[in-house]
Structure 1
């Protein structure tokens, strides 16, 4: 690649604002009273759908063709964790706070722009600061400088990076197949609980608490902040998984949150707001984190239910449906503590619980384990891809 660049651009690569090379087109605020999940109308691409590349929300009303998204379009989510994706499915509609890159100049290949903007979004995200929810404007995107190497160089870089992404797609497909198998075994194994009595969740826990939001209580990411502020994003099934983007709090704030959450080893964490149903287990030993409001802290009664069994139980499709049926909220879905306490769950003997946990833990490690199985391999491939992407997309800038 270096030889090709030296041959075609010996003086370096010119950088231009993205807005001079393509149009940043914003989505539209479609009326939510015409949303549905029954497949009526066209799929509606919301921020959460940019990451997954799929939408389970449909819009049945009238629309302008300007907001139609076609397969291959480059989409960017403008709130939260900024992400770019290429839409791979049928036509869909572009909702608000999602933008599309379009009308590319001949200087910039759309496929090259997609890989370049991925890295730029990471840099923009880290530079924005410490607000709880980060927002990106189309003007910021338009001002973002991107390199414009010769088209032949762009084409070769795309060819190399496509090989990495194709391997990721294969691993993701295999992982999805294993997840479907896991869900099947969840149903089969939990059939052992069919003859068990059903009790309200509140009967098998001795406490149900939540964390604390900053508001007037504390500030996030102060200079002395060294403890993680855990939200739904960091709940990884059985583990709490902070990232470089996880907000932090100082020791005083940690103590303030602890006064409300009273975290201790063996507690079960459950997200009751937003993305409902994410879970984690509070581990033994000292922890350097605490949770936000809306992450519920459940303390199992050990002679009635094991913590790992409770987590597996909360994650089964049938119980997730019960919990979602109890949720309310038009903008942000939420299940109240009182509603969660009243959810009916099967309660087999502790020996049966232990057997179910032993079987499902093996599948959990294969499908969701961070250090083993397919997730670990996929994470390694993504890290490798990001390394080569950044290396290939870093150029010596031409003199002004």
Structure 2
């Protein structure tokens, strides 16, 4: 960044002037371009929705094309122009931009504005990712379900315009950061995927019954409880209401869980009150889902939910959840499933007699420890590879934003 600082001192000794976007170029609003107009070949076209989902900061190729007669009616995008989205269902996506760096003229359609300018196109596109733009964009955004920042509003947003040599050096640095971030991101993503495959392999290997495992029944190692067959009045606070929507990939997602009132609680836990160490599962719809309850908080079972309370002399509580989710028991669930007119279900009244295989308690605890370690590496966003990937992206964004923040020129 010292090179950037040197250039700023040389070319912008009194600071960097900010100019309204409408003064640094011409803003041309797009029109038309439904996806039904796309063809296999023809004139390159960028649809506003693709800027959210496909394109990065800049591109030299389009993934879509339109017929020449269709292109004649659409907004033209020349090399170095910037295409900016005007509309989105959320504030984060509105105002996203891509610089067109291809050799030929292309087109864009409605919900997009083309900025024609004489600045460095990558500099403009990078700046449109910065906090300076996000803050101004928010002030001009209108709508609730659909957010809009019009071309007229974009024209009022001020962009710092340093000397072109400063812009080019900033672009060179950010291109380098972007390439490194993308390379590292790809490496970490590949490593993360390898760990997921490894986790899946060991999950199946460790939970597939071995020759030393003994055959018993579910009722011998746990009590089986059925939840209420009704739906309570839900509240914003109070004891947790654990329904089938609370179960997500072997965990409780409390963000998807509701509450019940204190006045309903005693009635709702008349059959059973969840306590730490229990395994809860769905016996209608979303069959095979289960999760371990480790909270010492009041909670109640929802409709279509069952509960396993482990006999700890026979089974480690966490292992009970794992063996329920393991390949043998999941296969058994599929064979026991009863297909109904509206939903599939498993006959919870008969579950105590279902066969199940378990190893010794020490072996159970070894398996729990091994799978917990794998799970932490793959899934825990506060540690392991996902955190490393997020840290690198945060680092890139920090340096990008610092490079795009200037001392304002005195007026």
State the TM-score, normalizing by the size of structure 2: 0.50
Partner of 2:400, secondary structure, is: helix
**Within 5 Å, which residues of 2 pair with 1:188-203?**
188-189=201-202, 191=204
1:153 aligns with 2:171: no
> Hey, what does 2:52 align to over in structure 1?
50
Contact 1:309 1:356 in 2 (8 A): no
Provide the rounded CA distance (Å) in 2 between the counterparts of 1:302 and 1:135.
47
1:13 aligns with 2:16: yes
In structure 2, the CA distance between the partners of 1:301 and 1:103, relative to structure 1 (3 Å rule), is same
Flag the structure with larger Rg.
Answer: 2
Gap runs ≥5 in structure 2: 57-62, 210-223, 237-244, 266-273, 283-289, 311-316, 327-341, 347-354
Provide the rounded CA distance (Å) in 1 between the counterparts of 2:368 and 2:41.
40
Deviations 1:181-211 (A, max 9, x none): 245346545656799xxxxxxx998489999
**Within 5 Å, which residues of 2 pair with 1:36-185?**
47=49, 50=52, 53=55, 64-65=70-71, 66=74, 76=85, 78-83=88-93, 84=96, 86=98, 99=112, 102-106=114-118, 108-119=119-130, 120-124=132-136, 135-139=147-151, 140-185=153-198
> Hey, what does 2:380 align to over in structure 1?
369
Deviation of 1:146 (Å):
0.8
In structure 2, the CA distance between the partners of 1:40 and 1:156, relative to structure 1 (3 Å rule), is closer
In structure 2, the CA distance between the partners of 1:46 and 1:14, relative to structure 1 (3 Å rule), is closer
1:301 aligns with 2:330: no
Count of matched residue positions in the alignment of Structure 1 and Structure 2: 306
Provide the rounded CA distance (Å) in 2 between the counterparts of 1:237 and 1:130.
41
Deviations 1:335-385 (A, max 9, x none): xxx76979xxxx975779988865554444334432322222222222222
Contact 1:168 1:382 in 2 (8 A): yes
Provide the rounded CA distance (Å) in 2 between the counterparts of 1:67 and 1:115.
23
Deviation of 1:68 (Å):
10
In structure 2, the CA distance between the partners of 1:163 and 1:365, relative to structure 1 (3 Å rule), is farther
Deviations 1:240-277 (A, max 9, x none): 799xxxxxxxxxxxx9x6348x9x9889999xxxxxxx
Q: Of Structure 1 and Structure 2, which has the larger fraction of its residues in strand?
A: 2
